[in-house]
Amino acid sequence: MKLVGITIGLKSEDESLWVNGIKLNAAMLYLLINKIDGYKAILVDTSGKVKDYSKIKMWDTSTFITKDFYKVANDLDVLIQLSTSFSDQDINLFKQDGFNAKIVKYNCGNNYVIEMERIIFDDPEKSPPMTWSQSCDQVWYIPQQHKHNHDYYSIVHNTDALVVPFVWDPYFIDLRKKQLEEIGNNMVDYSSASSNIDTKRIMSFEPNNNVIKFSMPLIMIVEHALRIGASFKDYKVCSGQRMFKNKAFLEAISSLEIYKHGKIKYLGRYPIVDILTTDVDFVISHQWDNPLNYLYLDVMYLGYPLIHNAHMIKDAGYYYDDFNFKEGAHILKEALQKHDSNLLEYAEKNKPVLERYTNKNFGMVETYKKLLDNLFEPGKHELSYEYNWKTNTYKK
């Protein structure tokens, strides 16, 4: 049994799981690896800030085994640097102490864009360091990052950069849903509370902190939908506080019908299940070369209509292409009009798409086993490393 450590960086015992997606990435990979024969995963915290891991509120540590990295490092056969990373200098120091694990750098974000924006826009005196480790055995990255990052990772880390299947699990959605139901909130799944289309509420969840996921395209879509006769109550922009404090932005949108009629509003950032329960009927989304996201799968899993341009799930939800905002507006209008009469059909269409990212997809689980095996015996399994979005595995 080979022990696989997946890095996380905890800020405190009270930290929420929903602060960002990276710890969800780690937890979902943990669940997957523990389905693979011959491998056992643990979560290894590199922060040094937690004294008693049994008191972590982020997850049940009897299910998600969480250890101090510095106490178990020499027991690991594989170290997956996911939520936190180490410099080459750190790795060399670990090796002097007997550390001998295979090292995988697992990238979940669009590092090229993040690092580009950091270099161009951040204060150079305050910008955090970029960890371009060249001590890893392989770099793995999720498929939605391929276009911008494949060669970038290969050169930066001076090793093979391999696209790997995207991993998602409804575990935490189900858990939060159960918690809400226990306190009397039974409207987590999509429910047609009113047959009056004028009361439908639209929301977007783009974080608005870089160019990849930004709400301006969605404002264009909702505006055009209103112009062509779509009826809805309002459109709320989550994570919109900074945008709506920008004078240039407010001046620009003041000419729009959704602004003049008071239909556009903004909110802060909320856990997806909680806000879906109370304030949303339709979710719209736009991305730029980032065509997979937990948000999309979470929304569809709970039965909510998702209007999106993510081509890797074009066979689910309500899809419009690329930056075609007018097409998106027509799709939104049609969904507003017809979704409530097509709930069963919508769920049936989405079900196989959702399952291809979970451990119910045997091909995905087997692919990860082969990737891990090949770390120890290069070439043991022949893999094309050419991603097939329709199966979430490799092409033959």
Quick one: 337 and 377 in the same domain?
no
Quick one: 111 and 192 in the same domain?
no
pLDDT of 195: 61
Q: Tell how strand 2-8 and strand 318-319 pair up.
A: unpaired
Quick one: 177 and 256 in the same domain?
yes
Decide if pLDDT at 272 tops 60.
yes
> Per 3-state DSSP, what percentage of the chain is helix, strand, and coil (rounded to 5)?
40, 15, 45
Quick one: 374 and 342 in the same domain?
no
> In 64-158, which ranges are E strands?
66-68, 78-81, 102-107, 138-141
Q: Which residue type occupies 298?
A: D
**Mean of the per-residue pLDDT values of the chain:** 93
Quick one: 22 and 71 in the same domain?
yes
Whole domain around residue 258: which residue ranges? 171-355
Quick one: 64 and 139 in the same domain?
yes
Quick one: 331 and 205 in the same domain?
yes
Q: Phi and psi of 141, rounded to 5°?
A: -140, 150
Quick one: 250 and 270 in the same domain?
yes
| Residue 116, both tokens | 């580009």
Q: Please state the domain count of the chain.
A: 2
Name residue 218's beta-bridge partners. Answer: none
State the average pLDDT over residues 83-99. 89
Quick one: 303 and 187 in the same domain?
yes
- Angle between helix axes 325-338 and 216-227 (nearest 10 degrees) is 60
Long-range contacts made by residues 343-348, C-beta under 8 angstroms, separation at least 24?
343/190, 343/192, 343/303, 346/303, 346/305, 347/303
Quick one: 75 and 116 in the same domain?
yes
pLDDT tens figures, 28-76: 999 999 999 999 999 999 998 998 998 898 899 999 999 999 999 999 9
Residue whose C-alpha is closest to residue 46's, from 14, 91, 113: 91
Instruction: Supply the CATH number for residue 117's domain.
Output: 3.40.50
| Residue 28, both tokens | 């979902």
Per the CB < 8 A criterion, the answer to whether 282 and 12 are in contact is no
Quick one: 54 and 198 in the same domain?
no
